[in-house]
Every structure is written in structure tokens, then in C-alpha cells.
């Protein structure tokens, strides 16, 4: 079986290892968390940039400190739009390989020009990124053979969830995530496999708000990379402002609903069903709507803080199974390499 598939399925165990690692490193991480700062920047490329979008939202909500996700290239090409000279920053450089040119350069440029500390987050302990950073979070157990990021992405995001917790927002709820994922994977995988076998869809729209928006982008990228499929990503209500004109019977909308905005998001989904779309819905409770495949997580402990990471494996499986149904090899995505260096 493809190693991409194996790595998707082993995420419950990888998440257990991640949480154990973070508990062991808690006093080390407290050092950088206590560094003087009034803003936090998360930066990466591709999947790692998508990760920064969700991480920054969750961090600001959890820590009540301004946080922002930015593509690595923006930090040195247009720094004036990212940093202010008078501010003190924590900047997290996110990179599975730790060798992506832009992300290494992002930390080096920041260290030369601005005030604050740099933290490298990677699966490669001896990488250029971690050698450059003031502090290191290394997750070698989340390494993967697959070119596309799967367990590395979810483990690094889980790390940020853990680090963004505070006395008022306990990390204890995170410990149940591996078991909850394990419980939902069999039925969720079957639903995804069935849906992915329908090759009549020719438009794929990912919708996600708040902390789910970065996850929507990541699910969109997984489908694009593995199955060579054109995809689009929007916030729910934004989709109404023009892009919905493309919706028809060949449209699959992957709707990542939240707790906080569910009533708004449900209205958009029902409107798109009326326009002919089919829905893959990941959420806390079912929509009970026609032409809708449901993967729902009713567990009381889950909220908008912990649900986003839980949606990831199912989005990764959508990309995997559509690739297989198109006769493509998810382990060797077209045009892609595991590390992008300039």
C-alpha cells in the first residue's frame, strides 16, 4: 500500500507522539513563550503557509496576542507590509524539511532587520531552518516519505494548538484527539472513498471560516497535488459574492463548518444545494440535507479550537482516493518534489 496512505492512517499514533514530546519540552517552550513580544508571525510555504493561517488564528484567539500567517517570501520581499520596526516579534518558521529556501531566508532576514526571537518548527532536527532559529521545535517522528504533507502538517498544527493553550485554555482536551480520530476514521474513510469514486465532478470548492480557513486551503492543496484537480477555496459567505456563479450539478463543495458560525454556514450550503451542488460536510452535527455526505464529530470535548485539526485526515484521504480513481500515484505527485529550493 502507498506510503502516503499509511502515513495518513497512522496520524492517531503520530499525534500521541507529538503530545508526549510537547509535554516533555514544556519548560523549554516556556522560554520562548516568555520572550518579550507584542506580535506573533507564523510563516511557511505551500502546505506550511496553509498551516500558518490556522495556527495564527488559533494563537490569537487562545493567547489574546496579535498573530498573523504570512507566506515566507512576503517577509523579505515586502517586509514593510509584515513588520513594524518598533515592535517586538516572535516569528515561527514552519517547514517540514527545514530546507525550503524562502522559509530559511525569512528567519535570517528577520534576525538581520527586526526585533524579536525566531523559532524553527520542523521534522528535520539538523536542518538549516533549525540551525538558523533561536529556538527549535523538532518533530522527527512526524517525518514522512510522501511528497505531499500529511502527518507532518497535522503534527505541527497540533504543536501550535498545545503551545497556544494558556491557564484559561487547557491543553488537556487535546489528549483525547488521537482516540477520537481513531474512532471516526473507518466510517469517514468509507464515506470519502465512495464519494471520491464519482469522477463526474469537475469543480471542487473548499469552504472554511476562522481557524478552518487554513484547513480548507490545505484540503484544497492536497486534492490538487495528489489528483491533479483544479480547486478553489473561500470563506463561506465570500463564496456568495460572485464565485457561486460556477455552481452546477458537477460541483462538489467541501464544507468545513464551525460551531461558532454554523447557522450562517448552513444557509450558504443549502443555497448551493439548490443550485445543484453535492456536499461533503465535515462538522459537529449533521445538516440532514439532500446530496450531502456527512462526517460529523459530536463529542462534547470538541470545539472550534480542536475540530480543525481533526478534519485534516479526511481531506487528505479525499485527495488520495481521487488520485487512485484517476489512475495516478499519490506517492509521486506530478511536477512536485519533496523540498522546494530556489
Residues near ligand F1P (CB under 6 A): 44-48, 95-97, 100, 103, 147-149, 225, 336, 338-340
Nearest distance from C-beta of residue 122 to ligand F1P, angstroms: 7
Q: Nearer to ligand F1P by C-beta: 4 or 164?
A: 4
Nearest distance from C-beta of residue 324 to ligand F1P, angstroms: 18
Q: Nearer to ligand F1P by C-beta: 39 or 47?
A: 47
Q: Nearer to ligand F1P by C-beta: 3 or 264?
A: 3
Nearest distance from C-beta of residue 202 to ligand F1P, angstroms: 23
Q: Nearer to ligand F1P by C-beta: 144 or 299?
A: 144
**Starting at the edge strand that comes first in sequence, how are the strands of the sheet with 278-283 ordered?**
231-234, 203-208, 251-256, 278-283, 292-296
Parallel, antiparallel, or unpaired for β 292-296 and 278-283?
parallel
Q: Nearer to ligand F1P by C-beta: 48 or 258?
A: 48
Q: Do the Cβ atoms of 226 and 319 come closer than 8 Å?
A: yes
Bridge partners for 138 per DSSP: 122
In SS3 terms, 90-116 reads as EEEEECCCCCCHHHHHHHHHHHHHCEE
**Starting at the edge strand that comes first in sequence, how are the strands of the sheet with 88-94 ordered?**
67-71, 39-44, 88-94, 115-122, 135-138
Nearest distance from C-beta of residue 45 to ligand F1P, angstroms: 5
Nearest distance from C-beta of residue 41 to ligand F1P, angstroms: 16
Nearest distance from C-beta of residue 335 to ligand F1P, angstroms: 10
- Nearest-angstrom CA–CA distance, 250 and 260: 30
DSSP 38: S
Nearest distance from C-beta of residue 128 to ligand F1P, angstroms: 11
- Nearest-angstrom CA–CA distance, 224 and 204: 10
Cell triple for residue 56? 495564527
CB neighbours (10 Å) of residue 98? 26
Q: Kindly list the distances between the CA atom of residue 261 and the CA atoms of 55, 202, 220, 304, in Å, as whole numbers in the listed order.
A: 19, 28, 21, 10
Of all residues in the shown chain, the one whose CB is closest to ligand F1P is 46
- Say which residues have a Cβ less than 8 Å from residue 24's Cβ, sequence separation at least 6: none
**Residues listed for the chain:** 342
Cell triple for residue 291? 446530496
Nearest distance from C-beta of residue 233 to ligand F1P, angstroms: 15
Q: Nearer to ligand F1P by C-beta: 130 or 273?
A: 130
Q: Nearer to ligand F1P by C-beta: 30 or 336?
A: 336
Q: Nearer to ligand F1P by C-beta: 180 or 339?
A: 339
Return the SS3 of 139. Answer: coil
Amino acid at each position: 500500500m502507498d506510503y502516503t496512505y499509511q502515513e495518513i492512517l497512522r496520524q492517531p499514533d503520530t499525534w500521541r507522539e507529538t503530545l508526549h514530546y510537547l509535554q516533555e519540552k514544556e519548560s523549554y517552550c516556556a522560554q520562548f513563550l516568555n520572550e518579550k513580544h507584542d506580535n506573533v508571525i507564523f510563516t511557511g510555504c505551500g502546505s506550511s503557509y496553509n498551516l500558518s493561517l490556522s495556527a495564527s488564528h488559533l494563537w490569537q484567539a487562545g493567547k489574546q496576542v496579535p498573530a498573523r500567517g504570512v507566506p515566507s517570501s512576503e517577509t523579505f520581499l515586502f517586509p514593510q507590509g509584515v513588520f513594524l520596526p518598533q515592535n517586538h516579534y516572535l516569528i515561527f518558521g514552519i517547514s517540514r524539511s527545514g530546507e525550503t529556501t524562502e522559509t530559511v531566508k525569512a528567519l535570517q532576514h528577520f534576525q538581520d532587520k527586526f526585533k524579536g526571537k525566531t523559532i524553527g518548527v520542523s521534522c528535520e532536527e539538523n536542518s538549516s531552518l533549525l540551525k538558523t532559529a533561536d529556538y527549535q521545535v523538532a518533530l522527527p517522528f512526524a517525518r514522512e516519505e510522501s511528497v505531499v504533507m500529511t502527518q507532518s502538517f497535522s503534527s505541527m498544527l497540533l504543536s501550535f494548538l498545545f503551545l497556544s493553550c494558556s491557564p484559561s485554555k487547557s491543553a488537556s482536551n487535546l489528549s483525547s484527539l488521537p482516540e477520537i480520530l481513531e474512532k471516526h476514521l473507518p466510517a469517514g474513510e468509507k464515506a470519502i472513498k465512495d464519494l471520491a469514486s464519482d469522477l463526474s465532478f469537475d469543480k471542487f470548492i473548499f469552504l472554511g471560516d476562522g481557524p478552518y480557513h487554513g484547513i480548507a486551503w490545505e484540503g484544497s492543496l492536497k486534492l490538487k497535488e495528489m489528483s491533479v484537480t483544479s480547486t478553489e477555496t473561500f470563506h463561506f459567505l465570500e463564496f456568495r459574492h460572485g464565485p457561486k456563479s460556477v455552481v452546477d450539478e458537477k460541483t462538489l463543495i467541501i464544507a468545513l463548518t464551525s460551531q461558532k458560525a454554523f447557522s450562517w454556514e448552513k444557509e450558504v450550503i443549502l443555497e448551493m444545494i439548490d443550485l445543484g451542488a453535492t456536499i461533503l460536510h465535515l462538522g459537529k452535527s449533521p445538516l440532514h440535507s439532500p446530496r450531502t455526505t456527512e462526517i460529523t464529530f459530536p463529542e462534547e470535548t470538541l470545539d472550534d479550537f480542536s475540530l480543525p485539526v481533526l478534519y485534516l485526515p479526511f481531506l487528505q484521504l479525499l485527495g488520495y482516493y481521487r488520485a487512485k480513481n484517476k489512475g495516478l500515484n499519490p506517492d509521486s505527485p506530478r511536477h512536485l518534489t519533496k523540498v522546494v529550493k530556489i
